[in-house]
Structure 1
Amino acid sequence: MTPAARTPQPPQGPQTPFSLYPELDANALNAYVTALESGDVTGLSPARAAEVAEVRAVVVFTRGKVTGADGDLLDAALWRHTGGLPRPLIVMPSPWTSLGWLVYAVQAGIFAARGYNVLAYTTRGFPGSEGQVEVAGPLDVVDGSRALDHLIERTAGPVTRIGFLGDSYGSGISQLVAAHDTRVDAVVALSSWGDLGEAFYENSTRHVEAVRALLKAAEKARLSPQTQSVFDNVLANRDVQGTLAWAETRSPFTHIKELNRRQVPVLYAHAWHETLFPANQTLKMFNELTGPKRMVLSIGDHSGPESSGMFGLPNRIWTEAHRWFDHHLKEIENGIGDEGQVLSEVMWNQTLEPRPTWPSLTEHIHRLHLAGSGELAEAPEAGWTATVLCGVDTPATVADAVVLSGYAEMAGRPKVYPTGEIDRSVAAVWASAPVEETTRLRGTPKLRVTYRAPNPGSAFVAYLLDMAPDGTAHIVTHAPYTDLDSPPDSLISADIDLQATAYDVPRGNRLMLVIDARDPFYGDANLPRATLAFTSPEATPSYLDLPLG
């Protein structure tokens, strides 16, 4: 069976396991690996058979085990050149999937055919490997170094430079290994996190749907008791400080001084509408790195933009990964070091825009004020109140489903929001005048809003929509907010960053800001049927800052 690009379908029943990689065909990947081992390409397409022959002509492929921390055996595969020439090495920790290292089989072969020795391994606790899932804990960091030891011992000639590459779960582990193991010279981190605590608790709001998705995708894995406890605590709203302390050691941002001390080059690839690891916490990490760095931002959701490349299909994310390692591990002058730190794909025209730095995306800020008339106005207006009823969902939501909604976006079918069906008693809504020319949003929108909550715990979600003249809209960006500390019936001022974006609002469309008190993606701190009363004090007016490029 030959892998082919296709639009994944939602699970059809309770027997269908949830996967963060719904488009990957395990049978096709296994057939490819079997052909690598045996040389029998029966059943493969001519193109795929040629790829197998190319890899087998230059490297020896073997499956085996890596002895990780505490003696646990980790399932692994090795692509090894037999000659004594100096070679660069690549280690690839697996993503959060029961497929393990198999996800990397095709790309590892491509790297090997281009001169690298490669080892891909299944992270501890996932099928094929011993141990328990620690979520990029200290044992996972040791595993990465042991995998590198294994690869070095089986490399025939001198080792030149070393890279770690990971997608999703493997990307966080790759950064952490690079921070702790001075042998690592460069990193590629696809769909990664920088601050895991912020990914789980954005603006103090629990990412419950993300945690549910991680648990579903790990149904065949063996979670450590601590891992299970942390995930359960996020869902049950227990021991927030304990979870944040657990996440701190697992956050590359915590160890950024070591990466900066050695000036480790890091390439990130991320999706604008990422629902597992929202972009802002990774951008925080990216902006603090002082060594060579590059951020590639794309339409879609977690791991979607790079997934077609896992079958060896043309894919610009993997092309960037190869160029990054060719430059930093092989010292090839391929121009990537001179192309700027940021390459972003604009929604929805798919234009690619290079920029020298992240701040350079934003040329100026346009402030719109929240007015009592429901307008996003040029001047501030005080004294109004907009009441939001808690406990009721609205058509304004983050997405229809984790991961799957991103594939629809990549296929040019983003979710359509019927703004006329948003109940104004359940949500507060403001809209701008029709834009007179294409409005280029580039960067991080910021929202300041003041509200009164009758209870000590309160939460809301703000959505920025692009509304067409017919009232239908697409989501530009959003962010949740939770307050747990203010006394009842006090005014609360919320200053929040919406998730970063690169979005062109067409001429004649309006920007719409929707604030409601419930979204299935997030934990809800409100009491049912309570109300949040939004307002705009004269001293601290409520406004929306739009980053324009």
Structure 2
Amino acid sequence: MTPAPRTPRTPATPVSLYPELDSTALGAFVTALESGDVTGLAPARAAEIAELRSVAVFTRGKVTGADGDLLDAGLWRHTGAQPRPLIVMPSPWTGLGWLAYAVQATLFAARGYNVLAYTARGFGGSEGQVEVAGPLDIADGSRALDHLIERTAGPVTKIGFLGDSYGSGISQLVAAHDTRIDAVVALSSWGDLGEAFYENSTRHVAAVRALLDAAAKARLSPQTQSVFDNVLANRDIQGTLRWAEARSPFTHIKELNRRQVAVFYAHAWHETLFPSNQTLKMFNELTGPKRLALSIGDHSGPEMTGLLGLPNRIWTDAHRWFDHHLKEIDNGIADEGQVLSEVMWSKTLEPRPTWPSLTEHVHRLHLAGGGELAEQPEAGWTATVLCGVDTPATVADTVVTSGYAEIAGRPKIYPTADIDRTVAAVWASAPAPETTRLRGTPKLRVTYRAANPGSTFVAYLLDMAADGTAHIVTHAPYTDLGSPPDSLISADIELQATAYDVPRGHRILLVIDSRDPFYGDANLPRATLAFTSPEPTPSYLDLPLG
């Protein structure tokens, strides 16, 4: 079957979800793995190749996947007959395919693992079509494991799957269906794909466009193309959610829990492709061994330096996770707590025993008519927002790449004085008398009146300095599609989780507007949203404090 014709479109920035990876450098690394000739390579890479070649053999090849499709792959194997653990690595959402893992797979192999990294169907040198972690992708993962087992000289002890981004979702789903798998490392992953595409019923159009742009040279199946087009065109929402449900690890969590599969997640606080709350939902329902590292940045940014072969704490913990759960090494990772969060912007690392333990208590601030976040509720006010006009309050400048600026210590600066109060509603707290330690998931309850059927708003939590400049703490969109015109709508939403220190003297700013280029909105042009706070259902912001 040939893919449905694609509508020509100009790719938006970025055209790659992995802008830091250099295919030429990775290709040279792999060529040196085969030949042993390290001429021109950096000393660190040359040393890694020499270490690997002293204990194991690397070969490129093909894995026969589902339906007989051949998948491009790299194989790192030891020739000795002693018992050995195995790792399978499905590729990220990139034409680089398994090459993205070349350095890390080499490091795992040098530490005694047999490793197979393969390119997911439809990408790069692999046959087939992109199914987005569908049944064929799950079957491919098991076939890749079969391939690795058949080429392992001695007994197999335990088995892990590791993936970044797309490969992480496939890894979780394969682990849920294949009883041979003992542990998973899922970096920049998703738990509920439907929630990632339709957060609070709001379409993540920028994320879908970024996925399409990054797969411009891939072969999308007709169903995949149709689903992405439907999200962008705002049609067949229920069909998309049904499609996403089967591709969501959360749907299959009972099997992971039944077998107590050990799962390590790494995620970015300002993730724009797979927002953190849907992964947190998955994480909190897991009952087996689990760990979650949350870091400054955006999709795949925190782990990127490890893919480049540089020191990286995410990858260090991935190695420790597999060493503990596949090799049964007592390296202390099981005693360090389930959660490790990197605090914005100090980069302090805070371990916690569980996710709920991040929040010690909740401080409620009420939305007041004078634009204050007040200690007591106030009824009777109205703040009207004109729809259809963007404001300087936005999620980020770009998908993925804005996160690299954050990691480098250059987060986006928001000029709050430029936010037009006719197209946005704004509330500010009093200056903080001391550092405010936000830890957990902020929650917003707000009541508003929409004159037309269908309405959307985006709520942003900002940290505002005395000069009026601000940084984003977190945000969330909200869409109502079912209320009759001119009715009061009560919205209870969770903003994306955070670990953020608001400095002494700064104010917490809540901004609500009707439009953000990251999202599709249901508002009619020039419509209005009138926010208020009825006595029976006061509007408030709950701040989780640690």
TM-score normalised by structure 2 residue count: 0.98
Residues 14 and 401 in structure 2, CA contact (< 8 A), matched pair in contact too: no
In the alignment, the residues of structure 2 paired with residue 230 and residue 478 of structure 1 have an alpha-carbon distance, to the nearest angstrom, of 26
After superposition, where does 1:31-430 map in structure 2 within 5 Å? 31-430=28-427
Whether the 8 Å CA contact 2:432–2:505 is kept in 1: the answer is: yes
Contact in 1 for aligned 2:12/2:213 (Cα 8 Å): no
Number of the residue aligned with 1:513: 510
Q: Distance in 1 between matches of 2:13 and 2:340?
A: 36
User: What is the identity, as a one-letter code, of the residue corresponding to 1:22?
Assistant: P
| Correspondences of 1:457-536 after superposition (within 5 Å) | 457-536=454-533
Contact 2:478–2:493 (CA under 8 A) maintained in structure 1: yes
1:312 is displaced (CA, Å) by 1.4
Change (3 A) 1:355 1:17: closer
Q: In structure 1, the residue corresponding to 2:33 is in which secondary structure?
A: helix
- Cα 1:16–1:281 change in 2 (3 A) is closer
Change (3 A) 1:15 1:263: closer
What's the CA shift string for 1:186-212, capped at 9, x where partnerless?
A: 000000000000000000000000000
1:132-154 deviations in Å (ceiling 9; x for gaps):
00000000000000000000000
Per-residue deviation, residues 477-496 of structure 1 (Å, max 9, x unmatched):
00000000000000000000
Counterparts of 2:105 and 2:124 in 1: how far apart (Å)?
A: 20
Q: Aligned AA for 1:413?
A: R
C-alpha distance in 1, partners of 2:124/2:410? 35
Classify the secondary structure of the residue corresponding to 2:347.
coil
Provide the rounded CA distance (Å) in 2 between the counterparts of 1:376 and 1:17.
Answer: 37
Instruction: Give the Cα–Cα distance (whole angstroms) in 2 for the partners of residues 326 and 352 of structure 1.
Output: 22
For 2:400 and 2:57, the matched residues in 1 are separated by 35
Aligned to 1:20: 17
Shift of 1:129: 0.2
* Cα distance in 2, alignment partners of residues 392 and 529 from structure 1: 8
2:6 maps to what in 1?
A: none
- Structure 1 CA distance for aligned equivalents of residues 308 and 498 of structure 2: 28
- Deviation by residue 1:4-26 (Cα, 9 ceiling, x = unmatched): xxxxxxxxx97997100001111
Cα offset for 1:45? 1.8
Cα separation, 1, equivalents of 2:358 and 2:317 = 20
Further displaced range: 265-274 or 39-48: 39-48
Q: CA deviation at 1:169?
A: 0.2
Letter of the aligned partner of 1:495 in structure 2?
Answer: D
CA distance in 2, matches of 1:335, 1:510: 40
Deviation at 1:46, TM superposition (A): 2.0
For 1:412 and 1:154, how far apart are their aligned partners in 2? 46
SS at match of 1:492: strand
* Structure-1 separation of matches of 2:502 and 2:532: 27
Q: Distance in 2 between matches of 1:394 and 1:417?
A: 10
Deviations 1:66-103 (A, max 9, x none): 00000000000000000101000000000000000000
**How far, CA to CA, are the matches of 1:247 and 1:18 in structure 2?**
24
- Corresponding letter in the other structure for 1:465: L
Cα RMSD between the aligned structures? 1.0
Equivalent residues in 2 for 1:411-450 (5 A)? 411-450=408-447
Q: Aligned in 2, Cα 1:17/1:529: closer, same or farther, shift over 3 Å?
A: closer
Matched residues, number: 537
Aligned to 1:126, what secondary structure does the other structure show? coil
SS of the residue 2:85 aligns to? strand
| Matched residue SS, 1:340 | coil
Q: Which stretches in structure 1 are left out of the alignment for 5+ residues?
A: 1-12
Distance 1:144 1:288, change over 3 A: same
The CA deviation at 1:47 is 2.1
**Residue identity matched to 1:494:** A
Q: What is the alpha-carbon distance in structure 1 between the residues aligned to residue 423 and residue 61 of structure 2?
A: 57
Partner Cα distance (1:43, 1:259) in 2: 45
Q: Is contact 2:160-2:183 (8 Å) kept? A: yes
Output one character per residue of 1:294-342: Cα deviation in whole Å (capped at 9) or x when no partner. 0000000000000110121000000010000000000000000011000
Contact 2:13/2:398 (8 A) holds in 1: no
Distance 1:27 1:55 in 2: 21
Structure 2 vs 1, CA of residues 408 and 368 (structure 1 numbering), >3 Å: closer, same or farther?
same
Q: Is the 8 A contact 2:14 2:398 kept in 1?
A: no
Structure 1: distance between partners of 2:45 and 2:198: 43
Note if contact 2:14-2:400 (Cα within 8 Å) is conserved in structure 1.
no
1:466-520, Cα deviation, whole Å (9 max, x unpaired): 0000000000000000000000000000000000000000000000000000000
Looking at structure 2, the residues matched to 303 and 102 of structure 1 have their Cα atoms a distance apart, in angstroms, of 16
Gaps of 5+ in 2: 1-9
Percent identical: 88
Letter in 2 for 1:263: Q
**For the residues of structure 2 that align with 1:201 and 1:15, how far apart are their CA atoms?**
21
| Amino acid paired to 1:191 | S
For 2:515 and 2:47, the matched residues in 1 are separated by 53
Deviations along 1:223-281, one digit per CA (max 9) or x if unpaired, are 00000000000000000000000000000000000000000000000000000000000
Q: Is the 8 A contact 2:173 2:249 kept in 1?
A: yes
